[in-house]
Structure 1
Amino acid sequence: MNIESDNFFDAIIIGAGPAGTAAAITLGHNLNFKLLIVDKENSPIDKVSGDALTGDSIRCLTELGIMEQVRKKGHMMSHIDLYPFNNKTHFSLDSEVITLQRGELSSILNRKVMTNANCQFRQLLFNGEIREEENKYQVDFLEPFTNKILTFTCSYVVISIGCQNDKCLYTLRNIPFKQPDAVAYRGYYSAKWDITFPRAIFFSLTRKGYIWVFPMKDGFYNVGCGFECTSPKTDLKKVLLNHIEKLNKEFGTEGAWEEAPKGAFLRSGLINYSKMSYGNVLFVGETISSTYPFTGQGVGKALETGIRAGSSILESFRLGHISSSELYNKTITEKIKPYFKSYNTAKSLFTNRLISPLAFSVIIRNLRLQKYISNILSEKSLPHDFSISKKIIDLLKKKKGR
């Protein structure tokens, strides 16, 4: 293969979201690595998000060396208030939470990436074409405005194109892509509400979802709602507007949208991750459904998959005889997947229609349970500790049956 030096990179990262930039920052630890990061957008990426950074996000941002900038830009809080569907009472979970608009987070990540002199950024469109030849990969891109096809060659590829690119993913791996698990709808609202900590209000027993109200640094709120797609068909706009009307009435005020609400689908549960990555082509973030089910927490696990991908590539490069996908899939299976498996058990405390009302009444009176759930949220609990959740659920079911 005749490789032109200007078109050869040690690694190409497709997608400049949290997962892609986390991979780029991690790969920057090898100062000799020549990197190309490509995105269809020319500016930091914004998206529909709750903007709340909790345990896994904070841990990953610290590892990436940008936590100080995040704290300066973000709004820091010490706990989260959870309300049952009847909204009559609530309990608080101790957990560090930082709210920061996704566009701001993207800017911080991108600035960190570009401190690496060996990293280039290009605004290009990826068409799903990757060809392998002599242990290298050729990747085709379309240049906007000129429609010129550009081909680059590399040793490693990281794909972080989100959950909305089914055609590209199907073309690459010929795997039927997982249907969305949930839908979210949120906007930025300015009002004089006396809400100083993040608030989540869970829905009725027939719907698996919640409304959130997250205070932001500049005096407005990220207000949204989300449902699992298995829930009965729901008008998210109506649900959100009704709740905002209730809050305005409760606090005797009126408000206005800083930014109109937008919607987005979510995929969760780390489905097909072991079938996606191959050779030295790694899929990260929402391309492998890295979002947590039910809560829709996504940025932390996106960052973590990016970090794991970057570390796997560096280790593969060092060893020279093992593919990065083998290392990457192993670390996802051992280090990340257990949290998803255990999380599905823990979430039953809030979504099981038989025990959820009783769970709230018990948790409100039990500080030990509140501490336990706080540890789940902040990921201070080890995966095997989540087995306690099943014991709690079994106990609540017995009480319900009395």
Structure 2
Amino acid sequence: MTDALIPPPDVLIIGAGPAGSACARVLAQAGVDVLLVDQHAPGRDKTCGDGLIPDAHQALARLGLLDAVMQRAQHVAHVGCIGPGGGRVDVPGRLAVLPRKQLDALLLQAARDAGARFEQARFEAPLEEAGRVVGARLKRGDDLLEVRTPWVVLATGAVPKALSAAGMCERHTPSGVALRGYVKAPQMVGKIQALEVVWDKALRPGYGWIFPAPDGHFNIGVGVTNSHEDRDGKGQKKDANLRAIFDAFVAKYPPAAELMRVGEKQGEGEQWLKGAPLRFTLEGARWTRPGLLVTGEAAGSTYSFTGEGIGKAMETGMLAADAMLAHRHEADGDAAVRARYEAGLAALKPKFKLYEAANRVNAHPWLADLVIWRARKSERVLRRLSGVLNETSNPGNIVSLKGITRLFLE
């Protein structure tokens, strides 16, 4: 085992998704020597809805990448909310769709353009001395490498293996699961123009979506929240068959049926549909320990209810970078870095709790019918729904008992 092949960086970031690449770019732009590591080669695919809602636009703007992303993305003007009774309301917002394979490659390249180094390697375990993380053990091909560094950032996504190896995992089971595929259907361009989200009792406790992507492609999928539960101290998957829910979505929603009938699946056989776990509400992992920060979906940066997580992943990655930069020249800044980062995540936590409260719509889809009915009749209710997208309205209040009562008064 040797560390001679990789010069030790100031910060080692494990995971080159939105959180890791955002963190790396901010640090590298400030002159920090960053090594960004991912077990996959650049351009890897990632199961995701690919929707870029306003928080993602804000994060990309701070990174200086909004224009570059929007040049490649499919611009969208509305989220189309469709209830089980067939009612629909189009909620305006600043929205776009760009497949994660393209988005993540762009973010990684931006980090490298800023000066970050990249290595394809797999994280095995942290290096520890006197209770502090001082680096990581990596596997690159057949070689085992030890990389020493003042800081390690784990941005390894929802799969808990790296969290467990680092002693940071508090919940091994995911918060939810999703299944998605791409369909090429130029003939559907213009017919599906919004980020369409569909609720139906056949899809409980989840929802279906169709998002228009660039070049006549569509991202279609289903998500299930609260997909696992504890039984006798062990996390187990509830009785929710994602493929059956996907088939029910196609059967229940005519535009989905038409898309599947006229479109061309992108992928071979049943492999065109890909599943992935989700981690919600900034829960399920310790955020810090001496010498180590956990960020992105590894820290639970995805919203429950909607499953949106790209913007918050980048935001948490930048919070980690900000914390390290604020105390980089202090002789013993470990505690200060950790305190600042944890305070930043704690400040975000109320937003996640609000989405968790709104998650009752997925279990009780008739609530979607009620909200849609009122939004079609009340401009004020529609503005409140748009405010949910822009993080200026409380999504939990809309479907609370008090919120439902207010719906009839607005």
1:296-335 deviations in Å (ceiling 9; x for gaps) = 111111111101001111012144443221110011112x
Look up the match of 2:147.
Answer: 152
1:241 deviation in Å?
3.8
Q: Distance in 2 between matches of 1:30 and 1:327?
A: 18
1:88-140 deviations in Å (ceiling 9; x for gaps) = 220010111110010110111111111133x2111111112321369771321
Q: 1:221 to 1:251 in 2, by over 3 A?
A: closer
Q: Distance in 1 between matches of 2:152 and 2:329?
A: 17
The DSSP-based 3-state class of the residue aligned with 1:91 is strand
Q: 1:76 to 1:326 in 2, by over 3 A?
A: same
1:351 deviation in Å?
4.6
- Whether 1:326 and 2:331 are equivalent positions in the alignment is no
Q: 1:85 to 1:276 in 2, by over 3 A?
A: same
Question: Percent of pairs identical after alignment?
Answer: 25
The DSSP-based 3-state class of the residue aligned with 2:282 is coil
Q: Distance in 2 between matches of 1:338 and 1:290?
A: 12
Q: 1:394 to 1:137 in 2, by over 3 A?
A: same
RMSD of the alignment, in Å? 2.8
Q: 1:20 to 1:395 in 2, by over 3 A?
A: closer
1:344-377 deviations in Å (ceiling 9; x for gaps) = 2344466546744433322321211111111111
Look up the match of 2:390.
Answer: 378
Q: Distance in 1 between matches of 2:146 and 2:258?
A: 59
1:265-287 deviations in Å (ceiling 9; x for gaps) = 211111145x3311231001111
Which residues in structure 2 correspond to 1:181-200 (within 5 Å)? 181-191=175-185, 192-193=187-188, 194-200=191-197
Residue identity in the other structure for 1:328: Y
Residue identity in the other structure for 2:389: L
- Whether 1:295 and 2:306 are equivalent positions in the alignment is yes
- Whether 1:255 and 2:258 are equivalent positions in the alignment is no
The DSSP-based 3-state class of the residue aligned with 2:198 is strand
Aligned residues: 386
- Whether 1:279 and 2:290 are equivalent positions in the alignment is yes
Look up the match of 1:95.
Answer: 93
The DSSP-based 3-state class of the residue aligned with 1:82 is strand
Look up the match of 2:84.
Answer: 85
- 2:45 and 2:100 in contact (8 A); partners too: yes
Q: Distance in 1 between matches of 2:339 and 2:121?
A: 29
Look up the match of 1:60.
Answer: 59
The DSSP-based 3-state class of the residue aligned with 1:217 is coil
Q: Distance in 2 between matches of 1:391 and 1:83?
A: 16
1:215 deviation in Å?
0.8
Look up the match of 2:108.
Answer: 110
Residue identity in the other structure for 1:329: E
- Whether 1:220 and 2:214 are equivalent positions in the alignment is no
- 2:202 and 2:248 in contact (8 A); partners too: no
Q: Which moved more, 1:131-140 or 1:21-30?
A: 131-140
User: Structure 1 unaligned runs (5+)?
Assistant: none
Q: 1:195 to 1:355 in 2, by over 3 A?
A: closer
- Whether 1:239 and 2:259 are equivalent positions in the alignment is no
Q: 1:111 to 1:322 in 2, by over 3 A?
A: same
Q: Distance in 2 between matches of 1:100 and 1:182?
A: 22
- 2:14 and 2:20 in contact (8 A); partners too: yes
Residue identity in the other structure for 1:284: T
1:150 deviation in Å?
1.0
Look up the match of 1:10.
Answer: 10
1:233-278 deviations in Å (ceiling 9; x for gaps) = 34332433454463376689622202311111211111145x3311
Select which of 320, 324, 344 maps to 1:313.
324
Look up the match of 2:174.
Answer: 180
Residue identity in the other structure for 2:241: D
Q: Distance in 1 between matches of 2:346 and 2:288?
A: 13
Q: Distance in 2 between matches of 1:252 and 1:45?
A: 25
Look up the match of 1:27.
Answer: 27
Q: 1:6 to 1:248 in 2, by over 3 A?
A: closer
Q: Distance in 1 between matches of 2:247 and 2:28?
A: 45
1:168 deviation in Å?
3.0
Look up the match of 2:353.
Answer: 341
Q: 1:248 to 1:101 in 2, by over 3 A?
A: closer
1:397 deviation in Å?
5.9
1:367-388 deviations in Å (ceiling 9; x for gaps) = 1111111111122x1xxx5288
The DSSP-based 3-state class of the residue aligned with 2:149 is strand
- 1:355 and 1:393 in contact (8 A); partners too: no
| TM-score in terms of structure 1 length | 0.87
Look up the match of 1:389.
Answer: 397
| TM-score in terms of structure 2 length | 0.85
Q: Distance in 2 between matches of 1:387 and 1:78?
A: 20
User: Structure 2 unaligned runs (5+)?
Assistant: 229-236
1:158-197 deviations in Å (ceiling 9; x for gaps) = 1111111x33322322644242121111101123231122
